[in-house]
A and B are shown apart, each in its own frame.
Chain A
């Protein structure tokens, strides 16, 4: 299976925009000496991006399977969990001065902490993609046990052995 022409066109357009942005920044920002090498590379970047775009327009771009609706539907739940986990739950994110001081905002801004969020993310992802029926009690027990064992190993490795200080967040 190969990606549709529209998908190739969309992806090559995004890359072309990035290449043009890199070229524009390289040739307009100062000091010029700091952008000597970026200018050189951006020329090739823009040429290849344009070539890639023209191939997509002409329907010559055939390499790559693209992303089917089925694939998108399959990865979407995991992707959402992944994004919430990394961009918020592990350490919290964002700064809205107008909301500062509000208990809910402060609570949310801190995130859940590395170990708590990792435990939840591991368990959620395992449960989302586990083919065992939702009604099967044993499979839920298995998920809890596997998550607990895995997180104990991670804690042992990073907290006890490597002594990595991780953000604590609102829980742990």
Chain B
């Protein structure tokens, strides 16, 4: 119950203002189609440089939580999911809005997000110290395998193609090695002066997540299509709250699935929402009503995608392995504030970490309150023309990446990586494994080097390194998990490929 003694920090004037501002801003950004939560958090990181670590993390945590929930607004009122996590929300949410139940759908959406989110953060509070205790037993070889596991899991699960997922992870690992070697001081892959200092993680995150979205908006051309929001007649909040009380089944399904998905590194909210929707449908006596504006589907999807947020930080804080792409960006935010995740994170930075986690708990409540109050206004902002959004994101990306180190080199790196990522995405590569490789690369390398030195002292012969890295129960378990994640992905992609061929054959 140590966390209880750190609630005071959340209510310090600036921290509290950042929590409120981050929640409201996140709701609006989340509701804006084309601006993903990951990109929103990446663009916010430069603004945290002038804040303390605690204040910066409070802002990023509030934005992370509320962008996921804010995406439901445009999913319900515009039928455009604000984020991939809200795809399942649009299925029944928009149908409800079209029936004149928009306010009811928004109330249920924010209430289920809030409940799922609170339970998710409670899991974060109680599971993180346990996992941190367990992680104390980890040595360099285990941390090396964990970093590799993080890249292979996200590379395998977050990509449409098995080989392209792992290849994207390799690209990220290679990018992380550019610059001067920490131990020998040797130049590595410095093909231009701008690369001498290596690739700064924040500039890379902004480029990889923001620039492809800017180009995607350009690709829509001079589109005249106007997004029309449906009218939202009034609905009593008390009636929605009572209905929520009677919706235990979808809420439980969504919360449990979201929490489990969050704990698995690299999966993210999109999967959580869709799996929860599917399971709620299977367990519902009203299966046929799903997709026609049935609140159960909406509640399951929204509780799942917010329940995922807290647990996605458990492996991040203890093992440096993010549970979702947005958590990967948050890891970048932690590192630039000098907070290094690990088993002793609660001993080294108890105040920062507990205040941050507590702010996420309070942020869930704010998210429900502000979400319900500003949902309609957020939907209006979400209708902002694409050219304005694209131009605004580009200018913010320039200023944000420059302000990291006041360096034009970072800006050029940001744009170059962004353009590269746009073309990679067009050929089926995913951004998440690249980012994970970039973030986990230095962790993997430093533990690989440390492990190699220990191996030289502990074992004799030419196979000393291999012996150190491949013996011991924990090493073998982690190696098995790496192979399992790759094997599972390989088989599932092969199966889905065969299914696609069969469908094409039947259609022909």
Contact = CB atoms under 8 A, between A and B. Distances in A.
Interface of A: 3, 7-8, 11-12, 15, 19, 22, 25, 29-31, 33-38, 40-42, 44-45, 48-49, 51-52, 55, 61, 63-67, 71, 74-75, 77-79, 82-83, 85-87, 90-91, 114, 118, 121-122, 125-131, 146, 150-151, 154, 157-158, 162-167
Contacts of B434: none
A37 B452 CA distance: 10
B167 A131 contact: no
B220 interface: yes
Interface residues of B, number: 62
B394 interface: yes
A146 B403 CA distance: 24
B408 A90 contact: yes
A121 B188 contact: no
B427 A78 contact: no
B423 A36 contact: no
Nearest to B189: A25
Contact of B392 (A8, A12, A71, A122): A122
B197 interface: no
B402 A66 contact: no
A33 B183 contact: yes
Given A74-B219, A74-B221, A114-B398, A41 B426 contact: no
Given A31-B186, A75-B219, A48 B166 contact: yes
The 5 closest A-B CB pairs, nearest first, are A63-B428, A64-B428, A34-B186, A129-B387, A78-B218
Interface of B: 46-47, 49-50, 160-161, 163-164, 166-167, 170-171, 173-174, 177, 181, 183-184, 186, 188-189, 214-215, 217-224, 385-388, 390-392, 394-396, 398-399, 402-403, 406, 408, 411-412, 415, 423-429, 444-445, 448-449, 452
B406 A164 contact: yes
Given A114-B398, A129-B222, A162 B167 contact: no
A162 B167 CA distance: 38
Contacts of A11: 423-424, 427
Given A31-B184, A122-B395, 20 more contacts: A11-B424, A37-B444, A45-B167, A52-B167, A63-B161, A63-B427, A64-B425, A74-B219, A78-B214, A79-B218, A85-B398, A90-B411, A122-B392, A122-B394, A125-B387, A154-B396, A162-B46, A162-B403, A163-B50, A164-B402
Contact of B386 (A45, A129, A151): A129
A66 B214 CA distance: 17
A164 B170 contact: no
Contact of B170 (A37, A41, A61, A82): A41
A67 B219 CA distance: 10
A71 B423 CA distance: 12
Contacts of A146: 388
Contacts of B164: 52, 63
6 contacts: A33-B184, A65-B426, A66-B427, A86-B411, A125-B390, A164-B402
Given A48-B166, A166-B402, A37 B445 contact: yes
> What is the predominant secondary structure among interface residues of chain A facing chain B?
helix
Contacts of B452: 36
A165 B406 contact: yes
Contacts of A64: 160, 425-429
Contacts of B444: 37
A114 B399 contact: yes
A151 B388 CA distance: 12
A78 B186 contact: no
B177 A41 contact: yes
B449 to A, nearest CB: 7
A126 B388 contact: yes
Contacts of A150: 388, 391-392, 395
A82 B498 CA distance: 42
Contacts of B217: 129
Given A31-B184, A49-B167, A164-B399, A3 B426 contact: yes
A7 B427 contact: yes
A163 B491 CA distance: 53
B399 A63 contact: no
